[in-house]
Structure 1
């Protein structure tokens, strides 16, 4: 992903169609709860199909999908199947449990990219780095819900990753308001996954909307939407293009016959 990366936390094709064309989302994240919410099956076939669709959007470089299983062997097996579509663009999410870390270690050994997800404590970033994970995903909002210092924990994770000189990225999840994104960015966090609701809030500001409306009104008053003027400009452009094409044709017709 880019130096600063946003992911869209959604399995909804309607939400993808609205937000992915903006170009700011370099990836999509999913998990079984999101799949259930968006009425999608948690199967390798369904997730592979979703990955194919998401990766058709120009800006999307990664598709993150969560493995499942009660044992590390099950999580590893399902993770391998999920990544088999394209290991370069599929990132397998694994919960930061004892069995999950074991599975993540095996997946990394197989050359599969991994996110340690559902992180609630700063030391879990160290575990994730130790197994060679590409990302660790702390749940900001849920930490706050549990009475923990979500903001402080995420910042500490970021500082830990920086001190370790690790390529692992802190993928901030469970973002509840856009203000937290700016505050965490100021602390060095550069990777976030957000819901469609937060995406909507990121693009919404009443003063910006009013300024844009004022600009449009002024443009209309001074002829920007004058149909006659637009048609005249179109015809002039076509005539100019035709003239340039004719000139090129004349220049290229001087060979021997």
Structure 2
């Protein structure tokens, strides 16, 4: 087997325990950092909020990486050696099923449990397909659905209902998130698995009222001996 396989979409495989020295308790949620920029990994993975990293050929190109098996393997090794990064998702490529399978096998050979191979699903209802084959993840693209006239929030919620209705453990991994509010809306509907870019990640920490309060607290501490 390919280890873990994600459709674009979805993933076969079992949840692995982290082999890292430190594994923060995040509850049942899984948040992924969606970028191939390794400098962003170094900056944001240490926050401890992320379960792993997601990439695809487009993100590799944007980051200046070659889309080759050797390069993706190199990136996967870096990612999985980072404390707190439990999974690395990368996408297989190729014009045929056989080509895509072979690429996926090579990409995942370093660590079949923690390297997740993404493959596109082309049948009409991806949710039923992914749940039917026992995929670990199904990754709807929220922003792209909205761009094409669909109600992305409702579509994601429906996919979650399909997974629940089929008695499947498939996680709905919401991708193409354009703003924090959309993610919050989905969390309020019971969803807990997301991948988002570094800009969205930083938005999670940007609240002016909190920043102002923290500055006030620091100033008070300094006035009362906190700097000593």
- TM-score range, shorter-chain basis? 0.7 to 0.9
Larger relative contact order (CA 8 Å, sep ≥ 6): 2
Which secondary structure does the structure 2 equivalent of 1:138 belong to?
coil
- Measure, in 1, the Cα distance between the counterparts of 2:152 and 2:161: 14
- Which of these residues, 136, 150, 159, is aligned with residue 152 of structure 2? 150
| Separation in structure 2 between the aligned mates of residue 24 and residue 182 of structure 1, nearest angstrom | 15
Matched, 1:63 2:88: yes
**Counterpart Cα distance in 2 of 1:183 and 1:194:** 15
Q: In structure 2, what is the equivalent of residue 232 of structure 1?
A: none
Q: 2:131 aligns with which of 129, 132, 151?
A: 129
1:90 partnered with 2:115: yes
Structure 1 residue 42, shift from structure 2 partner: 0.9
Q: Which residue of 2 aligns with 1:42?
A: 67
Runs of 4+ that moved beyond 3 A? none
* Equivalent residue, structure 2, for 1:5: 30
Q: TM-score, normalised by structure 1?
A: 0.77
Return the index of the structure with the highest Cα Rg: 1
Distance (whole Å) between structure 1 residues aligned to residue 217 and residue 162 of structure 2: 46
* Aligned-residue CA RMSD (Å): 1.2
Q: Measure the CA separation in 2 of the matches of 1:78 and 1:37.
A: 21
Structure 2 unaligned spans of 5+? 1-14, 16-26
What is the DSSP-based 3-state SS (H/G/I as helix, E as strand, rest coil) of the residue aligned with 2:32? strand
Which residue is 1:192 aligned to?
A: 194
Map Cα deviations across residues 189-221 of structure 1 (whole Å, 9 max, x no partner).
110000001001111011111011111001101
**Residue 45 of structure 2 is aligned to residue 20 of structure 1:** yes
Q: Structure 1 regions of 5+ residues with no counterpart?
A: 99-120, 227-257
Task: Pick from 32, 42, 49 the counterpart of residue 57 of structure 2.
Answer: 32
**Structure (1/2) with the larger helix percentage:** 1
Deviation at 1:151, TM superposition (A): 0.7
